[in-house]
Amino acid sequence: MVKIEAICGCMWSGKSEEIARRLKPAKFARKTILVALPVIDDREERNLGQILKNPLWLSNYKNLHIKKVDSFEQLKELMSDIDPDILVMDEIHMFGSWPVDFINELRFLEKYRKQSLRIIISGLDMDFQGKPFETMSLIMGMAHDVRKLSDAICKKCEERTAVMTYKKPKNNIVNQDRIQVGGEKDYEPRCWECYMLGEN
Ligand SMILES: [Zn+2]
């Protein structure tokens, strides 16, 4: 059967580390892992691929395949070439909406009546305006296990748990793009109270 695990939270909530932690035992069980990363994510230094290659986690593991993917067809081809025991999709909100259909289709494949497939999906739960990301929300609906992480501490009060991804203004203007790949220069984790304060 296909078993789906969803991991979500704001930026810096520890999603990538949680995936790495879940994948480590798979190395000892010699499972084949396919990690699909969105093409638009160009943050090479802090993407999941780099984290997994750390000696702490899955460095030099030959059954780990990390691929940049940008379409349903491409991932379908990779699934049939690699035939993984575990499929991971990180930063799911950056793929667009097709992963929902893709994962739904996998659930009903005849092949997985006999074989098992574990799917681990991770991504932001909400955009910078606090609006839930549709792709993640729908996958959470299909998932067997849903985990909202809260490892980040609010950058403003440095006290409460962060639940929001706050987008910083540049020259007093906030870029309104819902998907804008960025790091600490562009975003910060904030608790709800500090999120509502904005720049005040
Ligand atoms: Zn705060």
Over 80: is that where the pLDDT of 96 sits?
Answer: yes
Predicted local confidence at residue 103, as pLDDT: 98
Over 90: is that where the pLDDT of 147 sits?
Answer: yes
Residues with CB under 5 Å of ion ligand 1 are 154, 156-157, 160, 191, 194
Predicted local confidence at residue 69, as pLDDT: 96
**Mean pLDDT, rounded, for 137-156:** 95
Supply the mean pLDDT for the chain. 94
H-type alpha helices, the chain: 15-28, 48-52, 72-82, 98-107, 111-114, 134-142, 192-197
Q: How far is the CA of 197 from the centre of ligand 1 (A)?
A: 9
Q: Which two tokens stand for residue 160?
A: 């409460």
Judge contact between 125 and 9, C-beta under 8 A.
Answer: yes
The question of whether 91 is a catalytic residue gets the answer yes
Residue holding tokens 């305006």? 129
Over 90: is that where the pLDDT of 172 sits?
Answer: no
Predicted local confidence at residue 44, as pLDDT: 72
Going by pLDDT thresholds of 50, 70 and 90, the confidence category of residue 49 is: confident
- The answer for residues whose C-beta is within 8 angstroms of residue 52's C-beta and 6 or more apart is 19, 20, 23, 35, 58, 59, 64, 66
Q: How far is the CA of 160 from the centre of ligand 1 (A)?
A: 5
Over 80: is that where the pLDDT of 77 sits?
Answer: yes
**Mean pLDDT, rounded, for 111-121:** 96
Over 90: is that where the pLDDT of 41 sits?
Answer: no
Predicted local confidence at residue 84, as pLDDT: 98
Report the greatest alpha carbon distance in the chain: 57
DSSP string, 106-128: HHT-THHHHS-EEEEEEEESB-T
Q: How far is the CA of 102 from the centre of ligand 1 (A)?
A: 38
Over 80: is that where the pLDDT of 43 sits?
Answer: no
Q: Which one of the listed residues 44, 91, 158, 188 is annotated catalytic? A: 91
Predicted local confidence at residue 21, as pLDDT: 95
Residue holding tokens 């940049």? 68
Over 90: is that where the pLDDT of 30 sits?
Answer: yes
Residues 196, 185: Cα–Cα separation, whole Å: 20
Over 90: is that where the pLDDT of 193 sits?
Answer: yes
pTM for the full model?
A: 0.94
Using a 10 angstrom Cβ sphere, with 0-12 exposed, 13-18 middle and 19 or more buried, the burial of residue 93 is buried
Q: How far is the CA of 195 from the centre of ligand 1 (A)?
A: 7
